[in-house]
Structure 1
Amino acid sequence: MLSKTEICHALIRLNLMDASENPGLSELNGGISSEIYKVDLDGRSFCVKSALPTLKSDPDWHVPVERTAAEWEWLKFAQNVAKNIAPDPLGYDKQTNTLVMSYLEPELYPNWRDLLSQGIIDPNMAEAAAERLVMLHNATAGDEKLIQRFSNDRIFYDIRLEAYFLETGRNVEVLNDLMHELVESTAASKVALVHGDVSPKNILIGPNGPVFLDAECACYGEPAFDAAFCLTHFLLKCLWKPNWKKGYLKCHERFRKTYFSNAKWLDMTELERRVTQLHLGMLVARVAGRSKVEYISDKVTQELVKTFATRHLISHVATTGEVATLWDEILDAD
């Protein structure tokens, strides 16, 4: 854990505070992978973040702490693509592996997952999120200079490809070969800058549109991963809050249509195929991989997801729209 003294020294080194100042410090909810603090000084506030070497949910899961530096680089680049797409990056202190960014007040920047969980479901937000995501992907597609700047393949492999797909293959034997193929094709794809954790919990709904957080897995790779990651959450939330299934499916529809209609780096049919396979792979991974969604814990529901995703991975369903239709049908029948 970072001490207040360490945080203050980092801020002083970054010229964000004077040695004579005594800031207020409060710990924020950093999820399972980081420690995050709000720092209050006279008239200004910062968010200070540092990646943990092991995840809070799994002490045996050791993850690279270079994630903080990866996020710092992503924040700097993203702000050059579109203002207000992410918090302002204010500094990175290598000595403490600490990232400092602007603090966004929850009253003005509510968390999208919180809104969705309360039944505040606006498909326009899904469209706006897809617009911003595809803007980042379009802006970085084919830019080979970024490959070196975001050479974080080990982080992405350990936290995403290994933990999601290879672990799923070990737990669902019939999918083992397919999961290895999915990992190999995704790891080999060097197309655009990938965020790596595009989910509603990492998106704030600000006055100027969606704000993306938590790009610890940022790398230059397969952008279809980001689209599939977010689409998967819309479907899983139908199981979490079934009364609002129609709204979640509408978000799924608006997101996918916006993303595909604006993507410029690949033929739409091929892009859709890639996203669809990753989408189905993530569905099963979130109940059978190492990083399970916490709101689907009963075995019957997990088995429903596993059976659905396995069947349609093997049959090579071609589009995300077809996945959503089949999902709607199976939930109505359940």
Structure 2
Amino acid sequence: MTAAAACDTAALTAHLVARGLTASPAGVEIHPLAGGVSNDVVAVRAPGLDAVVKQALGRLRVAEEWLADPARLDTEGRALRLAGRIAPGSAPEVFDLSDGYLVIERAPDSWVPWKQQLLEGTADPAVAGRLGSVLGAYQRATADRDDVLREFGDVTAFGQLRVDPFHRTIAARHPDLAEAIGHTVDVMAASRVCLVHGDYTPKNVLVDPDGERLWVIDWEVAHVGDPTFDPAWTIGHLLLKTVHRPAAGAGFAAAGRAFLTAFTESIAGALPIDPAQLVRQTGCLLLARVDGKSPADYLTADERPRVRDLARRLLIDPPETITDAWELLA
């Protein structure tokens, strides 16, 4: 560990003891975890505690400057608690949220990110369907609720971590698409409908070896907003994996259909889903993962132009439904 990491470790240990999460510094083991670009994440094992602890960064770990308010950690903790109440077992338990630390339940060692399975070419439709059902439950339970809007009405972190580095960045880099992207942003900004996770992607889904259970993690940009945003990000990432692993494309398409079918059945008509906005949002996501501030690191030089071309088609000449996007890759 670096000197900074050692200081952070000492501070964290003192915090855990002060909060009563463990009795003393003796026996506390802290190990850095591979995480995203926006947080410091560690695993903690101590007498009576097996947890993951997060601290939000003010400057994200990307090549370009990307700043965000660390107060989003509080949003994440509150959103995790709400998700657990809506769909028990769909998110880790929150043990503590205080003083800039979020302490949550740690998944069993045998669980893996769904992204890992997809990159290996395995797309279980049952997992995709379960993920769609859970998303539908979140949206149905929070649609048009004033109390949820009061608690998650702030879109500052969503703007800093999604709209600015993704939508607005690609609009500036593709002026001919600025009108379509701007329309997507305008519709999104006017849609204050239900709880939106804001990063409902395979890297934020942990699954057990049998695919029977899953957790949705990383709720730091949760807000009340556009119900098409989260399904677009799931479908968009399945399309990215199709470009990266074309031999598994049929499986990714099947997973996409299973996800959308289960999602639609789960919301049960409780809120509107605009298919045109869903297509546009997916196009924006695809373009952002090649030309935004956080490009997908697994795409090769040959794959990035294919993603870019697909994104442009979704924004300029959109198909009727988002599942038709797989035919555009054929």
Q: TM-score range by the shorter chain?
A: over 0.9
* Secondary structure, counterpart of 2:44 in structure 1: strand
Choose from 309, 312, 323 the match for 2:311. 309
User: Is the Cα–Cα contact under 8 Å of residues 152 and 217 in structure 1 kept in the other structure?
Assistant: no
User: Is the Cα–Cα contact under 8 Å of residues 92 and 99 in structure 1 kept in the other structure?
Assistant: yes
- Aligned equivalents of 1:43, 1:181: Cα separation in 2: 51
When structure 1 is superposed on structure 2, of 236-245 and 220-229 the one drifting more is: 236-245
Give the % identical residues.
25
- Aligned equivalents of 2:131, 2:154: Cα separation in 1: 24
- Supply the AA of the counterpart residue of 2:178: N
- Aligned equivalents of 1:285, 1:142: Cα separation in 2: 29
- Aligned equivalents of 1:183, 1:101: Cα separation in 2: 33
Task: Please list every run of 5 or more consecutive structure 1 residues that lacks an aligned counterpart in the other structure.
Answer: 330-334
Describe how 1:222-261 pairs up with structure 2 within 5 A: 222-261=226-265
User: Is the Cα–Cα contact under 8 Å of residues 44 and 52 in structure 2 kept in the other structure?
Assistant: yes
**1:33 corresponding residue in structure 2:** 38
User: Is the Cα–Cα contact under 8 Å of residues 13 and 93 in structure 1 kept in the other structure?
Assistant: no
CA change 1:20–1:278 in 2 (3 A) is closer
Quick check: 1:6 aligned with 2:8? no
Query: Under a length normalisation based on structure 2, what TM-score does the superposition of the two structures give?
Result: 0.92
User: Is the Cα–Cα contact under 8 Å of residues 10 and 93 in structure 1 kept in the other structure?
Assistant: no
Choose from 100, 103, 112 the match for 2:103. 100
User: Is the Cα–Cα contact under 8 Å of residues 21 and 48 in structure 2 kept in the other structure?
Assistant: no
* Secondary structure, counterpart of 2:23 in structure 1: coil
Quick check: 1:279 aligned with 2:282? yes
**1:133 corresponding residue in structure 2:** 135
CA change 1:149–1:247 in 2 (3 A) is same
* Secondary structure, counterpart of 2:182 in structure 1: helix
Higher relative contact order (CA 8 A, sep 6+): 2
- Aligned equivalents of 2:94, 2:198: Cα separation in 1: 18
- Aligned equivalents of 1:281, 1:311: Cα separation in 2: 11
Shift of 1:183: 1.1
User: Is the Cα–Cα contact under 8 Å of residues 41 and 54 in structure 2 kept in the other structure?
Assistant: yes
* Secondary structure, counterpart of 1:55 in structure 2: coil
- Aligned equivalents of 1:280, 1:174: Cα separation in 2: 14
- Aligned equivalents of 2:248, 2:324: Cα separation in 1: 20
- Supply the AA of the counterpart residue of 1:261: E
**2:122 corresponding residue in structure 1:** 120
1:38-90 CA distance string (max 9 Å, x none): 11112531111111111112362111111211110111111111211101101
**1:200 corresponding residue in structure 2:** 202
**2:29 corresponding residue in structure 1:** 24
- Aligned equivalents of 1:121, 1:16: Cα separation in 2: 38
- Aligned equivalents of 1:157, 1:249: Cα separation in 2: 30
- Supply the AA of the counterpart residue of 2:31: S
Describe how 1:288-307 pairs up with structure 2 within 5 A: 288-298=291-301, 300-307=302-309
User: Is the Cα–Cα contact under 8 Å of residues 87 and 103 in structure 1 kept in the other structure?
Assistant: yes
Choose from 126, 131, 147 the match for 2:149. 147
* Secondary structure, counterpart of 2:15 in structure 1: helix
- Aligned equivalents of 1:13, 1:219: Cα separation in 2: 31
Shift of 1:137: 0.7
- Aligned equivalents of 2:237, 2:146: Cα separation in 1: 31
User: Is the Cα–Cα contact under 8 Å of residues 280 and 309 in structure 1 kept in the other structure?
Assistant: yes
- Aligned equivalents of 2:17, 2:44: Cα separation in 1: 13
- Aligned equivalents of 1:151, 1:266: Cα separation in 2: 18
Task: Please list every run of 5 or more consecutive structure 2 residues that lacks an aligned counterpart in the other structure.
Answer: none
Segments of 4+ moved more than 3 angstroms: 19-22
**1:326 corresponding residue in structure 2:** 328
1:162-212 CA distance string (max 9 Å, x none): 111111111111101111111121122110011111111110113652210
User: Is the Cα–Cα contact under 8 Å of residues 157 and 187 in structure 1 kept in the other structure?
Assistant: no
Query: Under a length normalisation based on structure 1, what TM-score does the superposition of the two structures give?
Result: 0.91
1:255-305 CA distance string (max 9 Å, x none): 1222123323334xx53222122112211221122221111241x432222
- Supply the AA of the counterpart residue of 2:246: P
Quick check: 1:210 aligned with 2:203? no
- Aligned equivalents of 2:274, 2:326: Cα separation in 1: 17
